[in-house]
């Protein structure tokens, strides 16, 4: 059973990696991003999208942990 789980995980990782590679190869057109008057250098669309995706993967759990800790602290104050 353990070997099946390892094989399934390896196949999933390879599938995700190949999807990312295909996404990067298909979206290599350069775009210039303008935010609040600040112009970023021209980068491929894939770099910007993957950067936003990774930022979301990082900030989402951090924000969720912060909210959970704040709620736990709030319930402890009301229980005492």
pLDDT tens track for 14-28:
998 899 888 888 888
What's the pLDDT tens digit per position in 25-70?
Answer: 888 888 888 888 888 888 888 888 888 989 999 999 999 999 999 9
Nearest to 32 by CA among 22, 42, 24: 42
Can you give the residue range of the structural domain that contains 18?
A: 2-79
Q: What is the CA radius of gyration of the chain?
A: 20
The pLDDT of residue 80: 66
Domain count of the fold of the chain: 1
Q: Give, for 31, the enclosing helix (H) or strand (E).
A: strand 30-31
Q: How confident is the model at residue 71 (pLDDT cuts 50, 70, 90)?
A: very high
Q: What is the pTM of this model?
A: 0.64
Three-state DSSP class for 4?
Answer: helix
């Amino acid at each position: 059973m353990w070997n099946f789980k390892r094989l399934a995980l390896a196949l999933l990782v390879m599938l995700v990696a190949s999807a990312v590679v295909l996404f990067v190869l298909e979206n290599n057109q350069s775009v210039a991003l303008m935010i609040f008057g600040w112009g970023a250098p021209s980068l491929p669309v894939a770099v910007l999208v993957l950067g936003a995706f990774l930022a979301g993967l990082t900030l989402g759990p951090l924000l969720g942990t912060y909210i959970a800790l704040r709620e736990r602290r709030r319930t402890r104050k009301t229980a005492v």
